[in-house]
Amino acid sequence: MVTSSKTLRPAASLALATALLIVAFAPLGIAQDEKDKKEEKFYANIGGGGARAIELSISRWSTPSQRARLIGALHADGQAAMMKILEQQPETGWIRIQGGRYPRTTLRYAFESKTKDGKRHIVVLTPRPISLGEARRNNQSLDYDLSMIELFVSEGGKGNGAIVAGAQVEIDDETKRFKITAYQTTPTKLVNVYTK
């Protein structure tokens, strides 16, 4: 089969961009491939009152190359392209509201890096479930198809964070981390974060 150079050029450019992103962003990770593979659980209270709690289970960490693919797609073609790749990522764990009657939501991205003050910075992404009614209405809420959780955990295993159910993201040029640029619902604080 004959393929024109015009067809190869965008594919080659994307492959080169992904390779460069892997090299550029690899130092941010905490040896994602080499970390202990056992499940790690985090617990947090939702909001200031802390009446409800969440349980977050990470069974595996996303690799620097998986991260670079997401970032490359986001830079090249926007959030919709990144979401297509995110949906195909292997499961990294789950989150649920504690209490037994709430279902688990599958996570597709979990990445850890260190902050300047030595805290663990954990970012979790997953596609936001979209109801049939919402899809039929085809309104602006469909643009906020990503859920993001961000945790800052000290060496002692305690910290804080935030969760956003529907967000749009970009990469911060200075920190090279995902940052929320718009959201459908106000970010909710996570307090009393701890890990076991």
pLDDT digits (tens, 9 = 90+) for 161-171: 998 888 878 88
Predicted pLDDT at 99: 76
Number of domains in the chain: 1
Predicted pLDDT at 30: 45
Which H or E run includes 96? strand 93-97
Predicted pLDDT at 7: 37
Structural domain boundaries, residue 189: 5-195
Instruction: Give the pLDDT confidence of 93-135 residue by residue, as tens digits.
Output: 999 988 767 788 899 999 999 999 999 999 999 886 544 343 3
